[in-house]
Amino acid sequence: MDLSNLNPFSSSDHRETGHLKMDKPDTSRRLDEMQQGVISKSLNRPDGPLKVSGTARYAAEAEADDMATGVLVGAIIPKGRVVSIDEDAAMKMPGVLGVFHGKKLLRNPAQGTANQAPIQPDGEVSYMGQPVALVVAESFEQARDAAITLAITYEEDDDGVFDPKIAEKEKPDGKQIDQGDFDAAMRDAAATVDSRYTTPVQSSAPMEPHASVAQWNGDQLTLHGSYQMLNYNKNELADSLGIDVKNVRILAPYVGGGFGSKLGIAPEAVAAALAAKALERPVRVAMSRRTVFETTMRRSETSQRVQLAADKTGKLLGLAHHASVSNLPDEGFTEPVAAATHFLYGGGSRRFTYEVARLNRSCAGSVRAPGEAVGMLALESAMDELAHELDIDPIELRVRNMPEKHPESDIPYSARNFEDCLRQGAKRFGWADRRPVPASRREGDWWIGVGVAGAARSNILGESKALVTLNADGTALVETDMTDIGTGTYTILAQIAAEMLGLPLEKVTVSLGDSELPEGPGSGGSWGAQSSGSSVYLACEAIRTKVAKALGCAAEDLTLKDGIATGGNNRKPLADLLDGPIAQEGHIEPGATMENFDQAGYGAHFAEVAVNAITGETRVRRMLGVFAAGRILNAQTARSQCHGGMIWGIGGALHEELHHDTRDGHMVNGDLAEYHVPVNLDVPQLDVLFIHQRDDHANPIQAKGIGELGISGAGAAITNAIFNATGVRVRDYPATLDKILPYLPD
């Protein structure tokens, strides 16, 4: 039976149409009924051999005939404008093809969201290092040498602002909350905490630098780029160039890390496209490591005041979280520091305030786990302080303060296993052996302590489309513009399709990272797996319905396994059943379940540290992360994501700190030699435990985001362990030895 041209079903049932809007919980849990046995298993990545052998082609490695190379030139003033650029000397140098500049090049990076176009400041220089020109030559070396000699005249303003401590603050609309009588709660409480925590500027620092290769064919632009969200990036690039989005194609099949820095179009893409158009030949622009640090998204520094008021049993009466962050003038993004504080713990009286310092530093935006990564360093440290003040076990304090409903919106939680994470983690970690009195365990020159912190990250479903084609030869193709930034997208989408269609994993091919494919949600906000995975699932459900019709059985009676269809007393290989391919688009949309239920992933971090009594050096000896994140689609890739988040937590607690000179805002340590991230010797053996969870409100495959959950709260477990080891409370992150050594016990 030829099913290639079947008309779409008229029924609104998503099993026939492939389209679902999540207006109500999907309780079918169909993945649990499938028989292929590949979902949730620890399976290797199909793209792994390509990456380890060096044959996976990243953006800068795209090939084109007659390729030229460009080098960006950064501003040497912190605020002002370019008056003139003398191109003559540069153009006379060997191999130089052109110097490009102008208003289209002078722009800040986009955030990578549907409603936020990039700020284009009409020729103004907003920060030191901002790209103001591009020099293109036959070779990189020629372009680099010419860029160094480029003579640029600036008009510098004298009103630049570089220090957040003295900058004027704005209070963004919609972020200020005052519920109940918080002042009375603090006044009448049996115990209070009122502490200020600071975190420094951080960088995404992905391994692969930002790079783009631009090539024009008439009015059609093809850009090989390292980007996370092609659905939005094509619009941002078209907007920047002033062309129709239909003329833009972006290819990003492999992305060597992003962590938020590649959410939106960055300067090298715009510059490469402009130069390629003018020169009528392909142009490659790859940022240097220094340029990546200077011009892509940074995480804002924060100053946070957390106030807790509790009765003698530890029950919170009041909770307040104040955050001071920064960004460029006119940029709309505000680091959502209190994101998890809003829903994780109760307390009837609540106060949340934000203020934004407008600085002439590089643009602040989303870095992995925006909000929670730095906000939970403060919140979970404050909860540890309160537990110590009341002499209550830190786990018990958290359990006593888990609200029945969202404490501000009063909507129910969808699925929450926070207590399970804490309890099972405590048993696995050996929490019962903890010595609650600080500085009571010493081994030679080392003080030993343990700490715990909660983890939470809001769960988001993004609109996503995917095209799945089941071929008569028992192979399948999955197509979507979704990206894989090292998180395992190729793997989990193949697993979902293989499980639903009853095929061995090697029979499924996944095509990603092409903006001409059906629009996925992109890799950001930990929404990629559940969103793109749901669209693949829906497409497969519709295909299964068509296969069942061909076999002569009801869809719910169909079993697909190893390329064999069984149902209604019939059993046939797909090769005998189908005369042609079946292609079906799956389409998932968020709906009322996101509005009517508070959805999040939960977890708990446990850490044991050793602090040297002589030097103040801290070493993390062991670490456990316990997570409830819905259905785990691939245990191996999920564990890898958690490892990455926990390692980032180690970095936030002990290492990472980006410095800006407060005289002119220039970045002091913008490279991987001086911006310290954890290396192998800093990271102990990490243990990860997943809690079984099915959240029918989240999406039809019951999966949740996990990449950013792994970082949330991780660093606080380490600094809480430092306190348990030494009695030293570090509130100014990172906890470098100079903040510990002067206060160590004798």
Which pLDDT does position 33 carry in this prediction?
A: 95
* Domains assigned to the chain: 14-56+462-590 (3.30.365.10), 64-160+207-257+262-295 (3.30.365.10), 299-460+596-743 (3.30.365.10)
Q: List, for residues 386-445, the tens digit of each pLDDT value.
A: 999 999 999 999 999 999 999 999 999 999 999 999 999 999 999 999 999 999 999 999
* Model confidence at 571: pLDDT above 80: yes
Residue 398: CB partners within 8 Å, gap ≥ 6? 345, 383, 418, 422, 454
617 is catalytic: no
The proportion of the chain whose per-residue pLDDT surpasses 70, expressed as a percent, equals: 96
Q: pTM here?
A: 0.96
pLDDT of 627-653, one tens digit each? 999 999 999 999 999 999 999 999 999
Q: In angstroms, rounded to a whole number, what is the distance separating the alpha carbons of residues 77 and 737? A: 35
What pLDDT, in 10s, does the model give residues 308-345?
A: 999 999 999 999 999 999 999 988 899 999 999 999 99
Task: State the pLDDT confidence band at 107, using cuts at 50, 70 and 90.
Answer: low
Q: Alpha-carbon distance 74 to 128, whole Å?
A: 7
At 1 the pLDDT is: 42
Cα four-point dihedral sign 664, 668, 671, 672: negative
pLDDT in tens, 171-197: 998 889 999 999 999 999 999 999 999
Burial zone of 561 (CB within 10 Å; 0-12 exposed, 13-18 middle, 19+ buried) = middle
Rounded mean pLDDT, 143-152: 96
Q: What is the pLDDT of residue 223?
A: 98
pLDDT at 102 over 90: no
Q: Contacts for 671-678 with beta carbons within 8 Å, 24 or more apart?
A: 671/289, 671/290, 671/293, 672/205, 672/289, 675/203, 675/205, 675/293, 676/651, 677/205, 677/651, 678/647, 678/650, 678/651, 678/654
| d(C-alpha 320, C-alpha 344), whole Å | 13
Examine the pLDDT at 11 and tell me if it is beyond 90.
no
pLDDT of 150 over the 60 cut: yes
Phi-psi group of 611: left, alpha or beta (phi > 0 → left; psi -120 to 50 → alpha; rest → beta): beta
Say how many residues make up the chain: 746
Q: What is the pLDDT of residue 330?
A: 87
Q: Are 195 and 306 in contact (CB under 8 A)?
A: yes
Region class of 188: left (phi > 0), else alpha (psi between -120 and 50), else beta: alpha
Residues 284, 272 contacting (CB under 8 angstroms): yes
Q: Kindly report, residue by residue over 501-539, the tens digit of the pLDDT.
A: 999 999 999 999 999 999 999 999 999 999 999 999 999
Percent of the chain at pLDDT exceeding 90: 93
Residue 269 in 3-state DSSP? Answer: helix
pLDDT score of 8:
34
pLDDT at 174: 84
- Residue 39, pLDDT above cutoff 80: yes
CA distance 653 to 730: 10
Mean pLDDT in the chain? 94
Confidence of residue 12 (pLDDT cuts 50, 70, 90): very low
229-273 pLDDT tens trace: 999 999 999 999 999 999 999 999 999 999 999 999 999 999 999
- According to the model, what pLDDT value does residue 122 have? 61
- Band (pLDDT 50/70/90 cuts) for residue 302 is very high
Q: What is the pLDDT of residue 459?
A: 96
Marked catalytic residue, from 87, 268, 519, 708? 708
Place of tokens 């048993």: 427
Residues paired with residue 729 on neighbouring β-strands, in sequence order: none
pLDDT of amino acid 108: 63
Question: Average pLDDT of 674-699?
Answer: 96
What is residue 7's predicted lDDT score, i.e. its pLDDT?
A: 36
Q: What is the DSSP letter of 680?
A: G
**pLDDT recorded at residue 415:** 94
> What's the confidence (pLDDT) of residue 111?
67
Least confident of 18-32, 121-135, 239-253: 121-135
* pLDDT of 112 above 80: no
Query: What are the E-state strand segments in 512-665?
Result: 559-561, 564-567, 570-573, 582-590, 600-612, 618-628
